[in-house]
Structure 1
């Protein structure tokens, strides 16, 4: 069994309840987005491109590191997640420009509220979140959801 399949199987152990799964489909992408948003606020130089906006050096470093982790599991998932992260970075840039110095408050509210729902989901499930056992599961959650989409449309990961 490939490492990615082992990680998905282990992650799935605490995600059987339909309510918990539903909560995860909403909250995991939002939490991931808030992390992208927080990283985009780290004061580092920015590179700008027409129609995209600007991306900070801190964001580029984070994208590269996360992509490397995902690449060790699956090159397809790594490529798709890189595109998703760039799209999230684009939206984070738009929020940062529109709300200026208050954008961190938006990320904080979303982050706190979604984590509250995550813990409610795990309370309903009756099992602790996977990341309490191993922090790498914080990065597995988003691709665990992605793998369901890929299976549905017939793309091997």
Structure 2
């Protein structure tokens, strides 16, 4: 790619190109399609479990603040991805709130920890010599922890013919 074409490329396209370079194996990609959203939900649920010290705020405040900050990153990177991630965040927040209300904070916490551990094990298996044989992208830059969910969403967009 020449320098002019590269400079015209959006930052999100450069992020995805780099991320895709660490995710070439089909099995590892499929693992990511399931594990990345699971990790995203588990982080939201873990943040939901942190007590809120001021009584006029409700449980979920820390999760809402983190989702808003992440959403701003996605919105700036791509409006279509921003809208999609907003839908993802609302759905995950709704589900988390439902689990919290019906099963309590401790069961939500235990479920979030279990999902987090299992999903990360799956991620590392996908990156092992058994499949990908490359280290996870976030070892080079922690921002790839935000790129992963957008990358999975962009894959879904491409599959249904939407532009991101």
- TM-score by length of structure 2 reads 0.86
Q: Runs ≥4 in structure 1, deviation > 4 angstroms? A: none
Which residues of 2 match residues 66-145 of structure 1 at below 5 A?
A: 66-100=70-104, 101-123=106-128, 124-145=131-152
Q: 1:10 corresponds to which residue?
A: 18
Tell me, yes or no, if structure 1 residue 64 matches structure 2 residue 72: no
Give, in angstroms, the shift of residue 81 of structure 1: 0.3
Aligned-partner Cα distance in 2 for 1:75–1:145: 16
* Number of the residue aligned with 1:149: 156
Higher strand share: 1
Alignment partners' CA distance in 2, 1:56 and 1:122: 32
The corresponding residue for 1:50 is none
Unpaired runs of 5+ in structure 1?
Answer: 47-54
Mapped partners of 2:48, 2:80: distance in 1: 25
Which of 27, 32, 41 is the equivalent residue of 1:19?
27
Aligned counterparts of 2:61 and 2:97: Cα–Cα separation in 1: 13
TM-score (norm. length: structure 1): 0.90
**Larger-Rg structure:** 2
User: After superposition, what is the alpha-carbon deviation per residue over 1:5-44, rounded to whole angstroms, capped at 9, x for unaligned?
Assistant: 0000000011111111111111111001101111111222
